[in-house]
A and B are shown apart, each in its own frame.
Chain A
Amino acid sequence: MSRINKSICALALAAAFSQAQAGEGSFGWIYTLDLQPKGTWEFEQKLQYNKGQAGGNYDFWQGRSAIEYGVNENLQLAGYLNTSYVNAYRNYPATTEFPSGETGGWGVAYPGDDKYSKWRVEGGSLEAIWRLSNPVIDPVGVGLYGEVTLGNMKDEFETRLMLQSNFLDDKLILAANIVGAIEKVKFVDGETGPESMIDILLGASYRVANNWTAGLEYRFHNDFYGYKFDTYTQRAHFIGPNVHYATKDWWVTGAWRYQLGGKCWAPNDGECSGGMVWDSHSKNEFIVKLGMPF
């Protein structure tokens, strides 16, 4: 796999798995403006599972363990430990070199046609969220998000513009995130690849009963080669439902999103086939998050 292909392959995936969650998260992947109150802490565990690419087997798990802290009414900080596990076997389309399919994708260090599996402690992240307006008392809640990730698979700086409006006694939440990120993807040979990403996340969530919300979220994902969004390499669309249960002592959120389709512009790659985008993405992506304030 060429250097550029490795970079492109890693680009979308790195972005896809870089997502954390602010406060109590009623969405799977969209951040809302529900922050930790001043002086309070919360433990949060996230587990994402990406399953299925062009063929064969592809299972990618990512765990993120976080401690969040409310610095003041509108500023939240968080620290993360990031881990992952990949299990892949001929998950990319067949090529001349690998006629039975190629083993590749995010987390696979050496593309080939053998089975590959590995568990990693990837590294850590630091995150800050600054809420400029509160959707509970203002028509539109606005927040700014920044996250620095240092790891053995990538270093990344991610920013978000977070927007949220509440309706119907705050039972209905409409939320949007505009995400921009630059990433230095790291390869086993010591080389690095410059990547950048823009995502648009849209979602709605409704409180169907006390303690329960359910909704839908959509992702428009765009990858670029280079730190300055130099070359458009990939785009993909995802959509799926979410469900959230919360009590005073803990909360849990589950979400699933399905890849509607995508397109790649990278040459000589296995990242796209059948109108879908692979590398760090899959047909189906699942996430479970558990939060416990303390």
Chain B
Amino acid sequence: MQWKPAATLMLVPVAALMAPALAHAKINVGVEEAQQRIFPGQKLTQNAVALTEAQRERMQELSSVREPFRGERVWRTANGDWFIVDEVVGKHEMVKYALGINADGTIKQIEIMAYVESYGYEVGEASWRNQFVGKSGNATLKLNKDIKNISGATLSCKHLTDGVKRLMVMHDLVLKGSK
């Protein structure tokens, strides 16, 4: 077998040299920072939840999200607001986000904590995140209906939207009314 270095192969190192200069940014926000962005100045206390199988099935049924939820990622403020960290499937890696829920059951804010993808960093911008603000557990929360899509990040937008829906379902099933 012989292989003569061809022009086609010479393009590979050229592209490799281009790549670092063209590398995209990434979003990386810690839990405490996300808490302060959503509930500035407030003290949050971890409030882990243990979900029953029936509750998990209901959350999946209403949101279509299959990734398991980690119950230790729930915090509460003295005012009865909730702070929840969750992850959904992104294009290449998991997308980590935090959801703040007011004591009255409406969404206060969503923060993207980890996003490492080629495209779609607009999910971290307020203009996209603000679409969720004020929604309650009764909202359908469907991409392209309630929430606008972002070009190049359809999968992440869909999963984030479904993920928020799942947390709102959990709030209604488990957190709402808990002491």
Give me the interface of A with B, judged by CB distance under 8 Å: 24, 36-38, 40, 43, 45, 47, 51, 57, 59, 61, 63-65, 70, 73, 81, 83, 85, 87, 117, 119, 121, 134, 136-137, 168-171, 207, 210-211, 246-250, 290, 292-294
* A87 vs B3: C-alpha distance when bound (angstroms): 9
Q: Is A65 in contact with B11, judged by CB distance below 8 angstroms? A: yes
Minimum CB–CB distance from B66 to chain A (whole Å) comes to: 5
Contact B158 A136 (CB under 8 A): yes
A-B contact count (CB 8 A): 114
Interface pair B22/A63, CB less than 8 Å apart: no
Is A85 a contact partner of B4 (Cβ separation < 8 A)? yes
* Contact across chains for B92 and A61 when beta carbons are under 8 A apart: no
Do the beta carbons of A246 and B15 come within 8 Å of each other?
Answer: no
> Which of B26, B149, B154 has most A Cβ within 10 Å?
B154
Write out the residue numbers on chain B whose beta carbons fall within 8 Å of the beta carbon of A246: 91-92
Q: How far is the CA of A247 from the CA of B144 in the complex (A)?
A: 26
User: Contacts A45-B15, A65-B11; is A57 near B1 (CB within 8 Å)?
Assistant: yes
Which stretch in B38-46, B47-55, B111-119 binds the other chain? B111-119
Contact of A40 among B12, B89, B152 (CB under 8 A): B152
For window 61-97 of B, CB contacts with A under 8 Å fall at 64-67, 88-89, 91-94
A290 cross-chain contacts in B, Cβ below 8 A:
12, 15
Can you list 18 contacts pairing A with B, beta carbon distance less than 8 Å?
A37-B151, A38-B151, A40-B119, A45-B12, A59-B3, A61-B3, A65-B11, A70-B151, A83-B6, A121-B7, A170-B159, A247-B116, A250-B19, A290-B12, A292-B15, A292-B22, A293-B119, A294-B18
A210 to chain B, nearest CB (A): 5
Given contacts A83-B6, A117-B2, A210-B92, contact A249 B19 (CB under 8 A): yes
The prevalent SS among residues of B at the interface is loop
Q: Which of A64, A87, A249 contacts B8 (CB 8 A)?
A: A64
A248 to B23, CA, bound (A): 8
Distance to closest chain A CB from B8 (angstroms): 3
Using CB atoms, name the residue of chain A closest to B20. Answer: A249
In addition to A137-B158, A170-B158, A249-B118, 12 A-B residue pairs with Cβ atoms within 8 Å of each other are A61-B3, A83-B8, A85-B4, A168-B66, A169-B88, A169-B89, A170-B155, A248-B23, A248-B26, A249-B23, A249-B24, A294-B22
State whether B19 touches A38 (Cβ < 8 A): no
Write out the residue numbers on chain B whose beta carbons fall within 8 Å of the beta carbon of A24: 118
Contact A119 B6 (CB under 8 A): yes
How long is the Cα–Cα vector from A84 to B143 in the complex, in angstroms?
45
Q: Are A85 and B6 in contact (CB under 8 A)?
A: yes
Inter-chain CA distance A248–B91, complex, in Å, is 9
Residue from B65, B120, B152 within 8 A of A169 (CB atoms): B65
Cβ contacts under 8 Å, B116 to chain A: 247-248
Contact between B8 and A47, CB atoms less than 8 A apart? yes
Q: Which residues of A contact B16 (CB under 8 A)?
A: 292
Q: With a CB–CB cut-off of 8 A, which chain A residues contact B8?
A: 45, 47, 63-65, 81, 83
Complex Cα–Cα for A151 and B12 (A): 22
Instruction: Let me know if A37 and B119 touch, CB within 8 A.
Output: yes
- Which among B3, B20, B116, B152 has the greatest number of chain A C-beta atoms within 10 A? B152
In chain B, positions 158-174 with a C-beta closer than 8 Å to chain A are 158-159
By the criterion CB–CB under 8 Å, are B2 and A211 in contact? no
Residues of B with C-beta under 8 A to A51: 1
Measured between alpha carbons, how far is A247 from B91 in the docked complex, in Å? 9
C-alpha spacing A24/B143, complex, angstroms:
23
- Smallest Cβ-Cβ distance to A64: which chain B residue: B8
In Å, the complex CA distance between A24 and B117 comes to: 12
- Give complex CA distance A134, B150 in Å: 13
Name the 4 nearest CB pairs between A and B, nearest first.
A37-B152, A63-B8, A294-B22, A83-B8
Contact with A along B111-149 (1 / 0, CB 8 A): 000001111100000000000000000000001100001
Contacts of A169 in B (CB 8 A): 64-67, 88-89, 159
CA–CA, A282 and B13, complex, Å: 29
Residues of B within 8 A of A134 (CB): 154
